[in-house]
Every structure is written in C-alpha cells, then in structure tokens.
Amino acid sequence: MVLATGEGRAILPFNHPLRNKVSCMASQLPEGDPRLECILIDEAAIEIRLAELARAILADAVDAKRLRLVGVLKGGWMFLADLARAIRRENGPRVLYEFIRASTYGAEVKQAGETERQVAIAGLPANIQGDHIVLVEDILDQGFTLSAIRRRLLAEGAASVRLCVFLDKQLEAPAPEVRRIRAELIPDYVGFPVPDRWVVGYGLDVDEEFRDLPYVAIAREEYFQN
C-alpha cells in the first residue's frame, strides 16, 4: 500500500483504501452498548494502518542511530504498544521507549484570546539532548497538549520532535486561537482523521471507561454530560 509521504509527512490520502473504512458501522457493535453510537474504525483497519505508520516513521529515520518514541499517557498507551510491535516487525533501528504523563485542564477554550492552556507534564525522559524524538499521542483535538509537550521537549534540548497521532480530529468550528495553534501543529504521522465527536476505545476513555476496546467508537454525548 502506498503512503503519501513527502517532507516527512504521512497522512491518510483521500484515495487511501482505508478512507471509506472511517465510517460508522452501527451493526457491528458487539457489546450493543447503548452509550456507543457505532464503531468508527475497526481492528482490521487499525492493523493495516499501524504497519504503514511504522514504515513511514522508519523511512524518515534512516540516518538515525537510534530513535526515541515518547508516548503520552494515558490515552496513547495502546497505540504506542501496537506501534512498537509494528516497528519491530519492520526491523528498524534501535528504539527507546518512554512515557510521559500529560493532563490538560479545561475542555473548551474559555475566553477569546486564550492561547495557552495549563498542561501538567510529568515523567519527562532524562538526557534527551540532541535526540530525535517521535511524540506519540492518542488524539489531536485543539492542540494544547501536544503543543505544550513539544515546546517542553525542545526546551530540554531535543534535536527534533516529530508528531505521531493516532487520530486527528477534524474540528468543525475552531475558535481563532485554536485555529492558530492547529496551524502550527501539523502532525508528521496521522493514523486516521476522525469527525468532531467524542471518540472512545483503543486507549481513549470517557471517565476511564472504554480504554480497552480494540476499536474506535463514537460515544453518544447525551450519555456523558456531567
């Protein structure tokens, strides 16, 4: 399967065979959980895409003696675990794995002009001076989290930080601040674009539930209003 690579980017092109796989399959929800609307991305599609992402990451890392992948907990754990195995299958260079913890406060842009959201980052890897890092995250939404982590890694001396997100949320009406952040945060590797809904599974939760689903599902927002 051919990837749209170019300047290190690997996004899901419009003619990619998996494109039409990112659509709702309500009939296939095995649990029949009324809180979930449908399966958005099934296991088979995820597996194919993981192999493609692994190859794209390695293709960009041909000169690297070693690669450092930094996963963002909690949401990114399943993605990084599967990506690690996909990379291993491709016989890549030596890879170091790290995990950091990020908590972003506030779900929405609170006031016009807000350009920063408080992001608590814990567990930064030591000695990243000169390292080429691939930051691995579950989902890119408004971009506050990844933007803060990337800034921090570069401040700590990383030579480069590439962004690898499993899901890229296609925001319908981003605030101007968000639009600006997202414009500066073009991910290098994207698993799948997803609609502007709350998605769960494959590491992603609502109140710590659904992280262990092997697929990505759309949650019915009306069940999760608090």
Which residues are at the interface with ligand 5GP (CB under 6 A)?
75, 104, 137-145, 169, 198-200, 204-205
Nearer to ligand 5GP, 57 or 213 (CB): 213
Answer with the entry of ligand 5GP, Mg ion, none that 160 interacts with (C-beta below 5 to 8 A by kind).
none
What number of CA atoms fall less than 13 Å from residue 202's CA on the CB side?
27
Instruction: State the nearest-atom distance from the C-beta of 189 to ligand 5GP, in Å.
Output: 16
Q: Give CA–CA dist 83/118, Å, rounded.
A: 29
Instruction: State the nearest-atom distance from the C-beta of 139 to Mg ion, in Å.
Output: 7
Nearer to ligand 5GP, 102 or 128 (CB): 102
Place of tokens 């500066």: 184
Q: Give CA–CA dist 82/199, Å, rounded.
A: 19
Catalytic residue among 141, 168, 207, 212: 141
Tell how far CA 156 is from the center of its chain. 22
By CB under 5 A, name the one of 36, 53, 67, 75 that touches Mg ion: 75
**Residue number of the CB atom closest to ligand 5GP:** 142
Residue range at the interface with Mg ion (CB under 5 A); choices 44-52, 69-77, 88-96, 147-155:
69-77
Instruction: State the nearest-atom distance from the C-beta of 105 to ligand 5GP, in Å.
Output: 10
Query: Which has the closest alpha carbon to 18: 69, 55, 53?
Result: 53
Nearer to Mg ion, 75 or 191 (CB): 75
Query: What does the H/E/C string look like for 139-194?
Result: EECCCHHHHHHHHHHHHCCCCEEEEEEEEEECCCCCCHHHHHHHHCCCCCEEEEEE
Instruction: State the nearest-atom distance from the C-beta of 183 to Mg ion, in Å.
Output: 20
Q: Is 201 in the site for Mg ion (CB under 5 A)?
A: no
Answer with the entry of Mg ion, ligand 5GP, none that 53 interacts with (C-beta below 5 to 8 A by kind).
none
Nearer to Mg ion, 46 or 58 (CB): 46
**Residue number of the CB atom closest to Mg ion:** 75
Nearer to ligand 5GP, 64 or 144 (CB): 144
Question: Is-catalytic flag, 141?
Answer: yes
Binding residues for Mg ion (CB under 5 A): 75
List, by residue number, the catalytic residues.
141
